Amino acid sequence: MTNTPQASSDRKGLVEVFTGDGRGKTTAALGVILRALGHDFRVCIIHFMKGNYPYGEQKTLARLPNVTLAVFGRASFVDPHNVEEEDRKEARRALNAAREAMLSGKYDLVVLDEVNVASAWGLVGLDEVIKLIEDKPQNVELILTGRYADKKLIELADLVTEMVAIKHPFDEGIEARPGLDY
């Protein structure tokens, strides 16, 4: 291992997937970002379905250089049994923004947050996400997060972690907590 970051043109960027029902998918992506920024990587995060929810991470990320954050989706949560046209529009905007960021040459790391869910629920086509992965420039690292990652996405990825909930307090009626869960 060397401590010298590779020039971005030489770097072999991978496709990573964080999926599963456990805590730690978006959270792990945030951790990768924190680490990447320490090596002066340029990072773009695209939120696919989170509206303008005031996540704690947005405040911290705003304090750091070299991070671009783009949030798509309505403020309310998507109902998978009743997806609205607006949800699809927003997810499509997110996908377009992701493509643009990935191909811009401006970023070393692009995070597609909750894209797995957006795809599983039909907000964007699985084929469109696959196409995005196939078009990834060699030196860009791409991270896809969210439950329900399709097996085709897992096949295409270089690194896949499934976060398995062994114990989760939300199951026992403890609500999501500011500062820790969002």
> Of 58 and 104, which CB lies nearer to a second copy in the complex structure?
58
**Cα→Cα distances 155→16, 42, 130, Å:** 11, 27, 10
68: contact with a second copy by CB under 8 A: no
180 binding a second copy? (CB under 8 A): yes
Distance CA 155, CA 150 (A): 9
- Using CB under 8 A as the binding rule, whether residue 7 contacts a second copy is answered as no
Considering only residues 132 through 151, tell me which ones interact with a second copy, judged by CB under 8 A.
Answer: 141
- Please identify which residue in the block is written with the tokens 């990935």: 102
Nearer to a second copy, 41 or 72 (CB): 41
Task: Give the nearer residue to a second copy in terms of CB position, either 126 or 163.
Answer: 163
Edge-first strand order for the sheet with 67-71 is 15-19, 141-145, 109-113, 43-47, 67-71
Residues 16-55 that bind a second copy (CB under 8 A): 16-18, 20, 22-24, 26-41, 54-55
Shortest distance in whole angstroms from residue 41 CB to a second copy = 5
Q: If binding is defined by CB under 8 A, does position 128 make contact with a second copy? A: no
For 177, the token pair is 């907590």
Tokens coding 167: 């114990």
